[in-house]
Amino acid sequence: MFIVNSYLLAVVLCVVTMICWGSWGNTQKLAAKSWRYELFYWDYVIGILLFSLLVGFTLGSFGEGGRSFTADLAQVSSAAVCSALLGGVIFNASNILLSASVSLAGMSVAFPVGVGIALVLGVILNYMGQPKGDAMLLFSGVALVVVAIVLNGMASGRRAQGGETSSRKGIVLAVVAGVLMSCFYRFVAAAMDLDNFESPEPGKATPYTAFFIFAVGIFLSNFLWGTLAMKYPFQGAPVSYKTYFGGAMKTHLVGVLGGCVWGLGTVLSYIAAGKAGAAISYALGQGAPMIAAAWGVFVWKEFVGADKPTRRLLALMFAFFIAGLALIVVAGN
């Protein structure tokens, strides 16, 4: 299987993770023209599961290093399976809330607030599980990200003035999603032997197997979380499975593409964690809010017409995010 052997390559993969995690929301924005996010989300989940199989039978099976995908899957312990599955269940609950937030408040609000909170809490949890890297630099970088989150919240608050209830509700959902999202990565990391991907401890999973089990957890839990979101939506009337199966193939494929984009970022983050450490790998990937905010501001024009103070807050938000991520990179070198 493909294994990362240098910190520089691990950082590059984490940057790709950041781009993927910050960009998949564009597919939701595209589908939203004719498709409710509750319906889009089923296609997104299916895309993640299909991509986990694709990467398992390619990168997870080619090469001479480590166990192949099928061999590894056959020997994974029940404890590791349950841990990765639980990570999928928790992630799915948080991501449905984040998707709802995107539909209500936009990408430039939902991602920096929700994923930003997940970054801060997630780094703390993952560092406690595997203390790797310079703690002072790592948490200094996280502190700068916190400042960026606050600045984004201030800009969002200015935009929400005038009674935009949906935006306020979206921010609340993003906060709840962020708290939940901070927990999932640790459970998936616990299923892997992060210190030795070449010859993992018996019963532990390789990144490819852990990602597949995690994806199964997402898919199975969506029969609960996805159904609840369809029956009790945060905005609008309930939607049915009949409507979902009546959707155009092109619309379904947009959602599947979104799942594949997110899945690529996730599996690269797991692969990089062996060399960079879970905390740093997670932290770099969760720089996604900067990417999502850029899409929201420059492509989707979510802050079009904003006054000069709001634009200044957004500029400062980007600056603090970049500075924070730079410190996180240096922390693991």
| Interval 163-179: pLDDT, tens | 455 577 888 898 999 99
Q: For 142-166, how does the pLDDT look when each residue is reduced to its tens digit (9 = 90+)?
A: 899 888 878 877 786 676 554 455 5
Q: Could you write out the DSSP letters of every residue in 205-240?
A: BPHHHHHHHHHHHHHHHHHHHHHHHHHS-SSSS---
Q: Alpha-carbon distance 210 to 21, whole Å?
A: 18
Is the pLDDT assigned to residue 204 strictly greater than 90?
yes
251, 231 Cβ separation under 8 angstroms? no
Domain ranges of the chain: 18-331
Centre a 10 Å sphere on the Cβ of residue 71 and count the other Cβ atoms it contains: 13
Is the pLDDT assigned to residue 96 strictly greater than 50?
yes
Q: Could you write out the DSSP letters of every residue in 248-279?
A: -HHHHHHHHHHHHHHHHHHHHHHHHHHHH-HH
User: Would you give the DSSP letter of residue 199?
Assistant: S
Q: Which of 196, 324, 267, 230 is nearest to 42 (CA)?
A: 230
Q: How many residues does the chain have?
A: 333
Is the pLDDT assigned to residue 255 strictly greater than 80?
yes
Residue whose structure tokens are 């599955």: 85
Q: Alpha-carbon distance 17 to 135, whole Å?
A: 22
Centre a 10 Å sphere on the Cβ of residue 305 and count the other Cβ atoms it contains: 7
Give the rounded distance of the alpha carbon of 271 from its chain centre: 15
197, 206 Cβ separation under 8 angstroms? yes
Of 103-107, 223-227, 244-248, which gets the smallest average pLDDT?
A: 103-107
Would you call 192 helix, strand, or coil by DSSP? Answer: strand
Would you call 6 helix, strand, or coil by DSSP? Answer: coil
Report which residue type is found at 1: M
Q: How is residue 258 written in tokens?
A: 């979104």
Q: In the structure, what pLDDT confidence band is assigned to residue 108 with cuts at 50, 70 and 90?
A: low
Question: Taken in order 197, 198, 199, 202, is the CA torsion positive or negative?
Answer: positive
